[in-house]
Structure 1
Amino acid sequence: MKLSELVGIHSLGLRVVVGGGDVGDLPVTAAYITDLPDPSRFLVPGIVVLSSGLWVDRPGGVERFVGALVAAGATALVLGTVEIGEIPPEVVEACRREGLVLATVPDDVSFGAVVQSVVETVAVLGAGDAPGVELGERVQQAVADGALDDALALVHTAYGVACWVVDDVGAPLATAGAVGVEHIARAWSRAVGGEEVTSWPLGPASSRAVLTAQRSRRDLGPAATRVLEALAAALRPELRFARRSRRARWERVSALLAATVDESLPPGEVSALLRLVGLDPQGGLRVLVARTDDLGFPAEAVAELLTRLCTGPGVRAAVCLHEGAATAVLSEIAEVADLRDRLAGGLPEPVDLLDGRTLVIAASDPVNGVSRLASAHAVARERLVEFDAAPHPAAGAGLVLVDSSASGDHRSLLRMLSLPARDAFAASVLGELEEYDRRHGGDLVTTVEIFLDRGGSWQDAARALHVHPNTLRYRIGRVEELTHRDLTTTQDRVDVFLALRCRGSVDNRS
């Protein structure tokens, strides 16, 4: 039985509150009424739990109850409102966060009527399919034992259907039958459905984890469909745990990068955090920031590609999503040539996932010491921005590495300085000038910036500022007094120009 069929029984009047767009293929294997704070031991995958919500007011009651259902692979929570009046917002939020369907039942419909509908329908569908029921149990047990390949092999042997499981970030977890990795990657990256495959989502709407069978739903038949639905129900809590674990790992690395940028932790603590994520703070460090040329391609999948590319003998990497971008901190690779060789050597397997896209990786120069890590991160991000701003021929499937060889101007030199160093230089040259503008409502900073951008031409700069050249000369005189620089000399012009660029990089560092 599918959840959509249960919701579609008009006499029950079930109303979906959370997950309305995801109920179509979710299996219903049983129904259970409970108000126990933790009903875990009575739950099975695919179960619909009906409750009056008496656990809502207990300390931590919502998290405990919803967590128990999610861990057991329950399909839905049906909450009655006779006792609690209305569905509490914290229940709605918990179900939405965990990807659990939440529904409510009218006050004049008993929980028993819902349970009876489930029991009768499941009994009819299962009649004459005792072998299928047994196979479903064996498949679920194989998943519980961590033998996912065995679970898929059981399905393939019984029904002759090729099937596979792909997680949120495009990594094939298991396959059975004659199916190539290229086909799996293409089906995942393009979310292919249609006549030739049937897929079951293994997470919330935002997740791209799927169980897929290489056969249409019509050709699968009811017995194979029920077994695959039972398999999907068993997989959902496993994938949910993996998703949480990956997110926690990424958050640790992201917090480390954030601490280096805002200098909220002393170097000793940053070094300790680097060791916790497997990096040597005493060795050379390099930061990578990556994306694909398809803006719709998930950043999580790009992070997974970085993990696969940058993990192996001779290199250690800590990967995360930081400020929305796939980011990696590498140790033990000092030379760009070594990095290129490493990335090229790791490309063949993940390139299938790209499915014709180009993976662009911007790399910082190697730095020594944790105090330079923030600068390395800024360098990698700015190189990616500069690459995006420049025209490039279509590269096709593959990898583009953007490093120091891709740029050669004053911005490359400034990126070698840490953000605090750039702050300090800008303040030493422009500090009095900016203070004067603040106190008098002036625009001397803008004036000197336009003057230098126009190559020191009095006429061009005055025209751009809409002032008389004599007014401009007076303003530049004030700039020279406040900066203690002579703007008729190249050396002092360079000082002010670089200070303005440092100021700009500080203003736009995000």
Structure 2
Amino acid sequence: MTTVRTLLGLPGLRRHPSTGEELLDRPVTRLYVTELPDPGRYLSAGELVLSGLLWWREPGDAEPFVAALAEAGAAALAASGADSGGIPDDLVAACGRHRVPLLEVPPDLSFAVVTERVVLALATAADGARKRLLTAAAEGTPVPGLLDRAAAELGTACWVLSAVPRVVAGTAPLPIDPAEPARRFATAHGRPTAAGGLSVLPVEGRHAVPWLLAVAGPLSGAHAELAEELAGLIGLARARTRHEPAAVTEGPVRAIALRTEGSDEAADVLSELLAPGPFAFARTDASEAFALVPGPVWPDGWAAAAAAALSTVEPLLRASRVVAGFADAMPAAEADGALEVARHALTLAAARPGPAVVVPADEVGVHQLLLAGASAELRGALRRRLLGPLLDYDAEQHSDLVRTVRVFLECSGSPTRAAKALHIHVNTLRYRIGRAAELLGADLGEFTTQVEVYLALTAQ
């Protein structure tokens, strides 16, 4: 990493006495030469600004110039006062106020020579940094190790983020919600972007769920090139990573089912959703993946968290939507049953609107699971046998007795609650239920009848 202190080792450049030692360790990414009185719009963070002070005319001119450098995050100002009789006092004072390191360029040293020396120093340092990263990658250094090396070269914190979203690795606590970089990246249509003071680049690879490299602060010059190199190396490290199946032969397990509609990305999405915890795929095909996860307890609100995660990543997928369902904890010996519960929860999720839907087991009724074991033909036959007269009456009279009976049963047979739910008078409700009972030849106030009729109503 090239710093202001590093450049002081070049022939000619020297530190102005007003600049404190604590300011000399700032990283330098490239050189920018200017004689504009306010160069702010053209500056980038980490630049060494070289100026002959041709813009300075009188005391007070230095303040906007130095303020622009400070706001842009310039590494330092290297100034020559050959035409102004030395470096002006107000420039020295402004650099002190804004904590911009001030270097002196001797009057007999041409800017061409300074430029050549600085550019060569930056190129040499960048080449060395790339070689060190390449060596680390070739040695099989995992992602956290690569980030540590890169952070030392760049002089700033780095993170690898999954678009699920989650923090894969980092050299410091992430200062923002990991979902924000993923959202910004989706809005930028996969191009490098910025989020919450971080520079965000795509990590190379052919995985369905992208990884992102985030670097604290803006990137420019040699640092931008090094970050791009790092993103490529992280992609290679990710490709070398293999998922190790979890042991699911004993203890409680949970089952997860996930579908990516219109694409073959289910396995990749489910892997990222469950990482970094242990899990084992039970079965996968082009658009569906089923996994078993060991452990009896999941965090409260996991279903909502999973839905939020899938909503974040969905815009970055080829799939038209993502749906998932999961089962309660069951003994490992009953894993097949857990997978069936997850499969049915997935079916319910697919029937609901939205780009990303998650249905937990507690939203799946027992009667729905029992009916799911019957074929569609058998369910249809049972529905016709129990509800035939009611279905025919509604079709002939354009009435809605089937819905009335269902609401009545879902309100535990309470005429008052059912009438309120249907927005009709309670006497009207009683008349309709009486008429339905006549058509069915059954007592809808009897518990066994209520169970049979409700199962028939929910059979499709």
Instruction: Name the TM-score class by shorter chain.
Output: 0.3 to 0.5
TM-score by length of 2: 0.44
More helix by share: 1
Structure having the higher Rg: 2
TM-score by length of 1: 0.41
